Amino acid sequence: MSDSDTPKLQSIILCQSCDVAVSRQALPANVRALCPRCHSALYAKPFCTINGVLALCITALLLYIPANFYPVLELHFFGSIRTSTVWEGAYSVIKQGYYIVGIAVALGAIVAPAALLVSILLQVLIVKHGLHKPILRKYFRSILKKHLLIKQFSMPEIYVISMFVTAFNLGDFADIYMGIGTFCYVMLFILMLFLQREYNIDYMWEQLHESQ
């Protein structure tokens, strides 16, 4: 570190929620430091097994394809059969003129999860292979800046619950079947859960700083 200020500043953390100053202490893995004043989460050990994240991310991306290609629910009613993929669900409300609703569903269930996976994949690949190249560093920085926003829009967990609620609701008067699409979507949700436990954005930011 050339800058004499840096070590001092690096040992201090400011709570994002209440601005209290706390000195950073080494934490064991899987322990989160809480703000002593407002009890918000402050920081965890900035640790991230890059290869583990990469493996989870690629598996999730592979599952993403059948999860969106195959129907998640199938309805049988007096001989008629109807199926719906995630996208067809969102599109059916758009077709009825409810653009905002359809876009919100598509964003939360399809677009944002994909963007989140691609974001993590690119970050990991850049950390592994290209942080020394200025152009890739620039991309890395702008991806990281958008990461939290994408994460907020991604809600596969809500969609999973809504599939089951719909199945129960309609199961009252029709026969509802779940298929390979349902299975893949649920698996995608579980993988993304693990992925987000492994992934650590503070670690990614530190990579940017250290390779300067």
**Which residues form the interface with Zn ion (CB under 5 A)?**
15, 17-18, 20, 35, 37-38, 40
Q: Toward another protein, which CB reaches closer, 88 or 198?
A: 88
Indicate the residue among 58 and 77 with the shorter CB distance to another protein.
77
The residues in 92-131 that bind another protein, with binding defined as CB under 8 A, are: 92-93, 96, 98, 100-102, 104-105, 108-109
Please select the residue that binds another protein; options are 44, 70, 91, 130, rule is CB under 8 A. Answer: 91
Choose the one of another protein, Zn ion, none that binds residue 122, judging by a C-beta under 5 to 8 angstroms depending on kind: none
- Please give the C-alpha separations between residue 116 and each of 26, 112, 129, 147, 168, in angstroms, as whole numbers: 29, 6, 20, 7, 30
Candidates 52-60, 81-89, 115-123, 187-195: pick the segment binding another protein (CB under 8 A): 81-89
Tokens for 142, please give them.
């702008």
Other CB atoms closer than 10 Å to residue 188's CB: what's the count? 25
For residue 42, the SS3 value is strand
Segment holding 108, helix H or strand E: none
Alpha-carbon gap, residue 61 to 92, rounded angstroms: 25
How many residues bind another protein (CB under 8 A)? The answer is: 64
For Cα atoms 101, 105, 109, give the angle at the middle one, nearest 5 degrees: 175
Query: Which one of residues 64, 159, 189, 203 is an interface residue with another protein (CB under 8 A)?
Result: 159
Residue of 199, 187, 200, 206 lying closest to 68 (CA atoms): 187
Q: Tokens for 31? A: 């322990």
Binding mask 33-72 for another protein (x = CB under 8 A): ---xxxxx-------------------------------x
> Which residue in 1, 62, 65, 161 binds another protein (CB under 8 A)?
161
70: helix, strand or coil: coil
Q: CA-to-CA distance for 203 and 48, rounded, in angstroms?
A: 7
**Which of another protein, Zn ion, none lies near 1, with the C-beta cut-off 5 to 8 A by kind?**
none
The answer to whether the CB of 158 falls within 8 A of the CB of 108 is: yes
Point out which residues bind another protein (CB under 8 A).
5, 9-10, 12-14, 16-21, 36-40, 72-73, 75, 77-78, 80, 82-84, 88-93, 96, 98, 100-102, 104-105, 108-109, 141, 144-145, 148, 152, 155, 158-159, 161-163, 165-166, 168-170, 172-174, 202, 205, 208-209
